[in-house]
């Protein structure tokens, strides 16, 4: 029987992966101009090192870590820096972007490859190459690889579940670059000094499971997981594979595990063996408004509008653009958004994908509670948020929400539950921060 998380929790949205799951990864030609965000990760924005007129190569460091939880940022093209411009991120924040004119020469400035690296060298390389988690918020990889000494980490988990509908970029990596995922996993395990390595894959990806098992070798367990959203969330994945619970308010290391995305494993392998900084990534462009959906290797700083043009998005049909997946991603106002290290997909939806329902009053059915994988009460948190009572919103578990969207998905009243909970978390954290000051 396939492993899974809490009994009866989670949901089963239509996977909609048939649009791209059988399409090989294509390399997208670099655009004439890129707009590279200085904040492509969780934590402090990187500090800009370049100015207008500077000549850069692919791999030139444009901005360096702005704190312990931060990540270096690199040029994805060779050419000339035009300047620093403000552009919106997918979450609606104005962020500095480094605008670069591509000279089309693709000259590179890579790091020196490493042979048989030590744990310390692997951690340092992950920092130098600007590696972050490529399946979520973008937590810097080197920080994850250095858990506090009091945390007894004994297991590495590679997250290859890819439970979000429409997205197939990790699936294609499993099939086409399984060797890099396996090598990256071994480097990560060496850095953590652990011997238990698990790769969790939902059982609706048999070809991906087979490809990984063929390359895995001794010491790596490729585990089939029951297809159920949000199987790929860190806490749910840890429970499914290790039957351990991450305590409320704590991190995976408190349960003896570190979780890294399959794409991050590939990036680490390339950073070590090729000296390649993280300046491009594989992502999925899908949705029924895209007449030519694809899995693409894309340079960071590429605009969503460039993706739309390549994938032949019908502007007359377009109803909504989603950055990421439909469950945990963000609807964006337009395609003037730049691809970052954490952009796993860009979805162009038409009427076939968007099912609009009129919001009505809560009917107290309890469906949101029954599916919540974190066992919190979404409707109570949303009510207290709307009333401005953030103490009660916190008491009912707002900060434990993983924002998976399962509650909103099942709500018959079409209440914006996950959006309200995000708002509550933002206000609670703001108040805590101001209190510390």
> What is the secondary structure of 182-241 as a DSSP string?
HHHHHHHHHHHT--EEEEEEETT-HHHHHHHHHHH-TTEEEEEE---BTTTSHHHHHHHH
Mean per-residue pLDDT for 414-432?
A: 95
- Asked if residues 268 and 141 have their Cβ atoms less than 8 Å apart, the reply is yes
What's the CA gap between 198 and 185, in Å, rounded? 9
> In the 8-state DSSP scheme, what is residue 74?
E
**What is the phi/psi pair of residue 286, to 5°?**
-145, -170
Per-residue confidence band for 3, with pLDDT thresholds at 50, 70 and 90 = confident
> In the 8-state DSSP scheme, what is residue 119?
H
- Asked if residues 407 and 372 have their Cβ atoms less than 8 Å apart, the reply is yes
**Where are the chain's structural domains?**
115-273, 367-436
Mean per-residue pLDDT for 327-332?
A: 94
What's the CA gap between 224 and 348, in Å, rounded? 30
Mean per-residue pLDDT for 29-39?
A: 97
Count Cβ atoms within 10 A of the Cβ of residue 93 and give its class: 0-12 exposed, 13-18 middle, 19 or more buried.
exposed
Average pLDDT over the chain, rounded to whole? 95
pLDDT of residue 1: 44
Q: Of the candidates 434, 423, 384, which has an alpha carbon nearest to the alpha carbon of residue 401?
A: 423
Q: Which residue would you say has higher pLDDT here, 3 or 313?
A: 313
What's the CA gap between 180 and 272, in Å, rounded? 11
Percentage of the chain surpassing pLDDT 90? 91
pLDDT of residue 356: 82
Span 89-144, pLDDT tens digits: 998 899 999 999 999 999 999 999 999 999 999 999 999 999 999 987 889 999 99
**What is the phi/psi pair of residue 294, to 5°?**
-150, 160
- Asked if residues 337 and 304 have their Cβ atoms less than 8 Å apart, the reply is yes
Place of tokens 């709500």: 411
Per-residue confidence band for 389, with pLDDT thresholds at 50, 70 and 90 = very high
Does the pLDDT value for residue 294 go beyond 50? yes
pLDDT of residue 436: 63
* CATH superfamily, with its number, for domain 115-273: NADH-ubiquinone oxidoreductase 51kDa subunit (3.40.50.11540)
Mean per-residue pLDDT for 34-60?
A: 94
Structure tokens at 183: 């090598």
- Measuring CA to CA, how many Å separate 65 from each of 8, 38, 39, 276, 427? 42, 10, 10, 18, 27
Mean per-residue pLDDT for 353-365?
A: 91
Per-residue confidence band for 2, with pLDDT thresholds at 50, 70 and 90 = low
CA angle 364, 370, 371 (to 5 degrees): 120
What's the CA gap between 294 and 200, in Å, rounded? 24
Span 220-256, pLDDT tens digits: 999 999 999 999 999 999 999 999 999 988 999 999 9
What's the CA gap between 337 and 319, in Å, rounded? 17
Does the pLDDT value for residue 6 go beyond 80? no
Give the bridge partners for 97, in sequence order: 37, 85
Helix (H, G, I), strand (E, B), or coil: what is residue 332?
Answer: strand
pLDDT of residue 214: 97
């Amino acid at each position: 029987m396939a492993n899974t998380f809490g009994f009866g929790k989670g949901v089963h949205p239509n996977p909609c992966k048939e649009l791209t799951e059988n399409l090989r990864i294509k390399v997208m030609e670099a655009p004439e101009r890129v707009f590279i965000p200085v904040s492509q990760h969780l934590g402090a924005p990187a500090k800009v090192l370049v100015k207008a007129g500077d000549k850069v190569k692919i791999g030139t460091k444009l901005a360096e870590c702005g704190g312990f939880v931060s990540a270096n940022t690199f040029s994805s093209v060779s050419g000339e820096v035009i300047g620093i411009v403000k552009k919106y991120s997918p979450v609606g924040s104005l962020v500095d972007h480094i605008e670069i004119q591509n000279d089309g020469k693709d000259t590179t400035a890579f790091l020196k490859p490493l042979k048989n690296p030590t744990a310390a060298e692997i951690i340092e390389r992950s920092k130098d190459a600007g590696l972050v988690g490529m399946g979520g918020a973008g937590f810097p990889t080197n920080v994850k690889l250095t858990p506090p000494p009091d945390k007894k980490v004994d297991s590495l988990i590679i997250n290859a579940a890819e439970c979000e509908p429409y997205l197939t970029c990790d699936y294609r990596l499993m099939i086409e670059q399984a060797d890099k995922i396996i090598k990256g996993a071994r480097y990560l395990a060496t850095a953590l000094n652990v011997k238990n390595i698990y790769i969790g894959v939902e059982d609706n990806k048999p070809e991906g499971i087979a490809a990984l098992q063929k390359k895995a070798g001794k010491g790596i367990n490729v585990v089939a997981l029951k297809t159920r959203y949000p199987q790929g969330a860190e806490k749910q994945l840890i429970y499914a594979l290790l039957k351990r619970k991450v305590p409320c308010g704590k991190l995976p290391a408190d349960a003896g595990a570190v979780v890294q995305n399959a794409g991050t494993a590939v990036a680490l392998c390339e950073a070590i063996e090729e000296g390649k900084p993280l300046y491009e990534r594989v992502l999925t462009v899908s949705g029924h408004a895209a007449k030519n959906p694809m899995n693409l290797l894309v340079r960071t700083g590429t605009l969503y509008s460039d993706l739309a043009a390549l994938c032949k998005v019908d502007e007359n049909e377009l109803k909504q653009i989603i950055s990421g997946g439909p469950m945990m991603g963000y609807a964006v106002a337009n395609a003037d958004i730049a691809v970052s290290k954490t952009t796993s997909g860009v979805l162009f939806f038409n009427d076939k994908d968007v099912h609009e329902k009129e919001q009505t009053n809560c009917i107290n059915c309890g469906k949101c509670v029954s599916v919540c994988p974190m066992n919190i009460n979404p409707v109570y948190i949303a009510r207290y948020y709307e009333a401005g009572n953030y103490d009660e919103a916190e008491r009912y578990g707002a900060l434990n929400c993983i924002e998976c969207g399962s509650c909103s998905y099942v709500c018959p009243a079409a209440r914006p539950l996950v959006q309200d909970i995000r708002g509550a978390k933002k206000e609670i954290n703001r108040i805590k921060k101001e209190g510390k000051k």
